[in-house]
């Protein structure tokens, strides 16, 4: 019996670079007019009264613990509410978000010998991160940004200047992260309560469907010929989005699918996401299918 050859150090480092945030920030910096236009478009939307009431109850904690430099690069609480209350009303209604807790720390991934992320990422202060980068113990831009704790809590995190010194680009990417995590506050409730996927009925364009119907159709698009991840971030999950993984490990497939879906939601709202692949019909079909969900309403 032959054993598989372990990856070389260079191959492992290449795999770790999937979590290098710098290329995403360079993309944002190079497309700031489009990002600013996307955010301006969101803030120009009318506010649904029910959405305003619900988002008005979302509490934001620990923003005051950020340094002045971190505050300049983070979405402040009033802006968080202004953005989220203008999200599609059906998603606000389905969201379980209750709290936003700002972290003045950097979230650093851990890797196995193959260069794949494993275990629980490490929380460290920005000063400690910079010291370890200076000592050659950490890569300067392999960081995780923004996480959710269940469907109820979003944890915005720090993006150190070793990733990007462009405060505006970092701020706009934090908007991206907020939108991504907001969709997790919708889908994670269904992930934790599968029966609700069948029970939640939606209406759009004269037809009715369940959230499970919508999710299954999105999954078919991901498994179709011509699929490419919509963003650089969701490309980290590409290896999990195959028919083989879906059959062998449906939990891993669903987890990866949700990252692709969250990034597609960001693209549908801002108009773009950091992306290095080729444009193709499958990509447009996924954004269109996301728009179907966003334009739907809860069925009676």
The string of DSSP letters for 214-227 reads HHHHHHHHHHSTT-
- 3-state SS assignment for residue 197: helix
Q: Binning pLDDT at 50, 70 and 90, where does residue 281 land?
A: confident
Q: How far is CA 290 from CA 43, 106, 114, 244, 294, in A?
A: 20, 31, 34, 25, 6
User: pLDDT tens across 39-59, in order?
Assistant: 999 999 999 999 999 999 999
Read off the pLDDT of each residue in 114-129 and give the average, rounded to a whole number: 93
User: pLDDT tens across 169-205, in order?
Assistant: 999 999 999 999 999 999 999 999 999 999 999 999 8
- How high is the pLDDT of residue 278? 65
- How high is the pLDDT of residue 283? 86
pLDDT exceeds 80 at position 277: no
Beta strands in the chain (DSSP E): 59-61, 99-101, 105-108, 122-125, 147-149, 153-155, 201-204, 207-210, 297-298
- How high is the pLDDT of residue 1? 39
pLDDT exceeds 80 at position 5: no
Tell me the backbone φ, ψ of residue 81, rounded to 5 degrees: -70, -40
pLDDT exceeds 50 at position 85: yes
Contacts of 258 (CB under 8 A, 6+ apart): 184, 187, 188, 191
């Amino acid at each position: 019996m032959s054993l598989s050859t372990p990856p070389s150090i260079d191959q492992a480092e290449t795999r770790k670079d999937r979590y290098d945030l710098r290329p995403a920030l360079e993309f944002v910096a190079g497309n700031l007019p489009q990002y600013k236009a996307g955010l301006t478009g969101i803030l120009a939307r009318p506010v649904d009264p029910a959405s305003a009431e619900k988002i008005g109850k979302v509490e934001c904690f620990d923003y005051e613990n950020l340094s002045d430099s971190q505050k300049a690069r983070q979405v402040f609480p009033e802006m968080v509410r202004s953005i989220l209350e203008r999200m599609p009303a059906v998603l606000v209604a389905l969201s379980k978000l209750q709290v936003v807790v700002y972290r003045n720390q950097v979230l650093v991934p851990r890797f196995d010998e193959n260069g794949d992320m494993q275990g629980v990422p490490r929380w460290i202060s920005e000063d400690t991160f910079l010291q370890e980068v200076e000592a050659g113990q950490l890569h300067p831009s392999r960081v995780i940004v923004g996480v959710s704790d269940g469907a109820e809590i979003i944890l915005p995190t720090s993006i150190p200047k070793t990733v990007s010194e462009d405060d505006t680009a970092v701020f706009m990417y934090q908007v991206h992260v907020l939108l991504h995590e907001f969709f997790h506050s919708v889908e994670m409730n269904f992930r934790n309560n599968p029966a609700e996927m069948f029970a939640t009925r939606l209406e759009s364009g004269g037809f009715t469907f369940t959230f499970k119907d919508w999710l299954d159709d999105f999954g078919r698009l991901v498994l179709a010929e011509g699929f490419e991840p919509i963003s650089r971030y969701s490309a980290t999950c590409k290896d999990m989005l195959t028919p083989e993984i879906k059959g062998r490990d449906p939990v891993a497939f669903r987890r990866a699918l949700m990252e692709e879906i969250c990034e597609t939601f960001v693209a549908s709202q801002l108009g773009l996401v950091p992306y290095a692949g080729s444009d193709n019909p499958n990509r447009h079909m996924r954004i269109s299918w996301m728009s179907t969900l966003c334009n739907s309403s809860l069925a009676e």
